[in-house]
Amino acid sequence: MANLYQSCLILNLALALKANGSWAGETHIQKSAYFLNDLLKVPTGVDFILYKHGPFSFELRELLTDMEALQFIKWNSQPPYGPSINEGQLSSLLQAKFSNQADQYKTQIEFVADHLGQHNVASLERLATALYITKKGFVGASRVGKIVELKPHVSVLLAEKAVEEFDRIQSEAQAKQLIVA
């Protein structure tokens, strides 16, 4: 069963994304949770691997399924788009019980939502992949080449833009001391 603290953290992330103009589909939540987890070191309790469209967590997918079953979230579909996350019937109960724990990362959640909320899924894939390869030790221009190698559908120009934007996000997070020790 889902860890209730984790559920509250992810619910808060999804709501912050929506407040920042995000569709808040699964891809948005996956990539934003990856930034929380791997850039800002917020303990989400899930692991990520490089998958078809960038870093992905099967554990997070399972957590979202559990959250839906527990009525903490619900998915609303608006064709031709995929489902968008919304608060479920019991979301307020979850937040009432666990928001104190999750709120310790409120600043990090808001930072991620502010920086990623307006991105579409293709842009999120590139940004998250830039973070992934940076974590793997690639530096400088080699990151652009690695993105293109891992994601042949991404042009060199878009890979360069993703690396530049990721570097700005990382620098700002460091300057604001948002990386959890």
Question: Exposed (0-12), middle (13-18) or buried (19+): which is 122, by Cβ within 10 Å?
Answer: middle
* Each residue's pLDDT tens digit, 14-45: 999 999 999 999 999 999 999 999 999 999 99
* Each residue's pLDDT tens digit, 121-175: 999 999 999 999 999 999 988 999 999 999 999 999 999 999 999 999 999 999 9
Query: For the chain, what are the domain ranges?
Result: 4-175
Q: Which residues are CB-neighbours of 155 under 8 A, at least 6 positions away?
A: 148
- pLDDT tier, 180 (very low <50, low <70, confident <90, very high otherwise): confident
Instruction: For CA atoms 59, 61, 67, 70, give the dihedral sign.
Output: negative
In whole angstroms, give the CA distance from residue 117 to residue 104. 20
Structure tokens at 35: 């930034």
- pLDDT tier, 2 (very low <50, low <70, confident <90, very high otherwise): low
